[in-house]
Amino acid sequence: MEQQQTVDASVSAEELEELDEVYRENSRELWAIFYSQCSDPERAYDAVQESFLRLHAHRGEQIRDPRAWLLRVGQNWLRDVARRKSSSCKLTPALDEIVNDRFVPQDILSSTENRQAIRHALQCLLEDDRKVLVMKYSLNWTSAKMARVMDCSAAAIDMRLSRARRRLAELLEEQGYDHE
């Protein structure tokens, strides 16, 4: 009996190690993709966590491509949440930042407002534009790498990036974004 428990514990530890490894390799990229889908950092993180918890709980047929599996699970979860969101109340993300004592309230308000303005403007962009922006500025990917993922040329990626930046600047200007 004791031997059986030891075997279970070692298998579990091995599984956890594997899970951590998959997480190290994919978590940032998955977060970035989920973020480009919902423009909400916390929800994108929840999607990452949910997909890894399901991977951990998965029993049955072996998953050949964990990254693709995690991506699909996370995206489906985000869609479900978006459907439910319309009937639920909205949390205020600013509350999390108020407890942070690094800034005076004025700065927090200004920073929060600016962040919200940028998130709102990002939501007005096309999803592919958001993807290239997040790959470039969050993951620091090169145009060539983005081109492989997006299945197009590096020149097309650069063009898309430039257009996305310009469009975002216009949207921020329309919203009266304070960049001084």
Binding-site ranges for other proteins (CB under 8 A): 16-17, 19-20, 23-24, 27-28, 31, 35, 41-42, 45, 48-49, 52-54, 56-57, 115, 118, 133-134, 136-138, 162, 165-166, 168-170, 172-173, 179
Torsion of CA 28, 122, 114, 30, to 10 degrees: -10
The CB-of-87 to other proteins minimum distance in angstroms stands at 22
Please say whether the beta carbons of 73 and 172 come within 8 A. Answer: no
Look up residue 113 and give its two tokens.
């407002």
> In the complex with other proteins, which residue's Cβ is closer, 86 or 100?
100
Please say whether the beta carbons of 35 and 41 come within 8 A. Answer: yes
> In the complex with other proteins, which residue's Cβ is closer, 78 or 168?
168
Please say whether the beta carbons of 147 and 156 come within 8 A. Answer: yes
> In the complex with other proteins, which residue's Cβ is closer, 36 or 86?
36
The CB-of-27 to other proteins minimum distance in angstroms stands at 6
The CB-of-65 to other proteins minimum distance in angstroms stands at 18
- Helix and strand numbers, DSSP H then E, in the chain: 8, 0
> In the complex with other proteins, which residue's Cβ is closer, 79 or 170?
170
Please say whether the beta carbons of 175 and 120 come within 8 A. Answer: yes
Nearest to 45 by CA among 103, 108, 93: 93
> In the complex with other proteins, which residue's Cβ is closer, 151 or 180?
180
The CB-of-68 to other proteins minimum distance in angstroms stands at 18
